[in-house]
Amino acid sequence: MDFFDYTLASGQSGHFDTSVTATQPFNILPRPPLAGELVPADYFRTLSLDEIFQAGRPLEIDLGCGDGSFLMEMAGKYPERNFLGVERLLGRVRKVCRKITRRELENAKVLRLESRYAVEWLLPDSAVSRLHLLCPDPWPKLRHHRRRIVQLEFLEAIRRVLVPGGEFLFMTDHEEYFQWATQKVAGFGKFELLEWTEDSFFYPKTDFQELWESEGKAMWRLRCRKPLNEA
Ligand SMILES: C[S@@+](CC[C@H](N)C(=O)[O-])C[C@H]1O[C@@H](n2cnc3c(N)ncnc32)[C@H](O)[C@@H]1O
């Protein structure tokens, strides 16, 4: 992780760059959470499930949740499940928090953090029933492909956090990124592919999906799961 928000004992808050920890001996406390926001007590250890949600319901994660429309609809439709959005932009996190509060959703939260860090370091083992990665940045230029979030290490981290039988759902308008992700999953070899068409199950359109479809673009879907017999 490159940064996180902090509040000093004096009340002053700001942005903390982890690359300068050795030279900045401040007494750093996590900032107070917004309503609907998850602010971990400690960003440097794996969370337990009950630190994310008190009620033990199946947990779904929406990585790069944007303004949270998908998260809101899912949380409204499935009160018996918990939904955690992960988003790095503070303005979007604030919007999601406002929506959660307005709709009085007790089964939705948002975490302001880099998605890869959240999956690789914060989420507990075998805890997530579905992990959604919807319209992620495609980084279309060849020299930027290494910035794409779907990489082998990321798939390994997803496998770790999914429950046996848990699913990873990836959707993009970018055909080449879809092929890339499909090849990474095949090369990874530890997931089973599942069918996923637009009407396979209730799945609200995301804001970016609406935008791309209004421009006549097709969406590409990849759905796979951790085998049921795997711990
Ligand atoms: C193209 S938008 C898609 C938003 C939403 N999933 C949708 O389909 O409408 C990508 C979102 O992911 C967020 N994002 C991009 N990279 C991220 C990262 N590494 N960690 C957390 N959020 C990220 C962006 O800020 C943005 O809100």
Q: Report whether residue 86 contacts ligand 1, using a CB cutoff of 6 Å.
A: yes
CATH 3.40.50.150 fits 33-225, yes or no: yes
d(CA 73, CA 209): 14
**Distant-in-sequence, close-in-space partners of 57: CB < 8 Å, separation ≥ 6:** 80, 81, 82, 107
How confident is the model over 42-53, as pLDDT tens digits? 999 999 999 999
| Per-residue confidence (pLDDT) for residue 15, from 0 to 100 | 57
Rounded mean pLDDT of the chain? Answer: 91
Q: Report whether residue 114 contacts ligand 1, using a CB cutoff of 6 Å.
A: yes
| Ligand 1 centroid – CA 62 distance (Å) | 9
Residue 51 corresponds to which tokens in the numbers above? 């630190």
Residues of the chain with CATH 3.40.50.150: 33-225
Q: How many CA atoms lie within 13 A of 65 on its CB side?
A: 34
Pocket test for ligand 1, best of 3, 65, 71, 150 (most atoms within 8 A of CB): 65
- Name the residue with the closest Cα to ligand 1, atom 4: 66
| Per-residue confidence (pLDDT) for residue 17, from 0 to 100 | 54
d(CA 85, CA 65): 5
**108, β-bridge pairs:** 83
